[in-house]
Amino acid sequence: MSRFDQMFSKCAWTLGLLMPLWALGGDRGSYPMPSKDNPVQAEAETLLAELSGRLQDLKDLRATLNIQADVPKVKIRPLSAEMYFLAPNQFQLRSSRLALLPRQNPMELFEFLKSQSAYRVLGMGYEAVRKERCLQMNVMPTATQNDWQLIRLWVNAQTGRIYKAEVTRRSLGTVLMDYFYHRAPSHPGLLS
């Protein structure tokens, strides 16, 4: 491996965007193509297709939000809110300390995941999230002019629930979200 390849893989790929291309047998100018023969890749595609189908069936949702902002050198107390969602795109937020601008829909991630033609999924392997075995997958938009850059999801393969999401967008930067479930939802895999 050349010195350039070593530096390139250390700088670009340690961010967790993709596995080093040299490890996948690709060149540095192309994305690795997922293989259907890989069981992790096959499970990631199946799991995301099932999640997308369940999101299509989502008609309404009530959730308690507990928000902890982690901004360097800024102290922000944790806050909570109640969120109500009614398909296709109506939502209401009730909180004494939190307000959303009209363009900020907290359900945008799920709206994006509904359209399977808008992205490609790459299974990255298994990782423990809060003692649960989750499949980590990278969701990459297919459109080059999209605001979405990369979505990293940690999904429990048994329940189909998203336990963690890291969303990188051009307009907002990177946001890390942890999902906690208090009771079994009426449709497995949807937020309760």
Residue 184 pLDDT: 52
> Using an 8 Å Cβ cutoff, are 75 and 183 in contact?
no
Tokens in use for 41? Answer: 């890749």
Residue 18 pLDDT: 43
Q: List the one residue out of 187, 189, 141, 186 whose CA is nearest residue 163.
A: 189
d(CA 59, CA 106): 15
Q: DSSP class of residue 174?
A: E
The list of the chain residues with pLDDT below 70 reads 1-36, 99-106, 183-192
Residue 107 pLDDT: 73
Residue 140 pLDDT: 92
Residue 25 pLDDT: 43
Task: List the chain domain ranges.
Answer: 1-32, 34-58+106-178
Q: C-alpha angle with apex 118: 117 to 124, nearest 5 degrees? A: 95
For the stretch 60-91, pLDDT in tens is: 878 887 878 777 888 888 888 888 877 777 77
Residue 19 pLDDT: 43
Residue 10 pLDDT: 43
Residue 120 pLDDT: 92
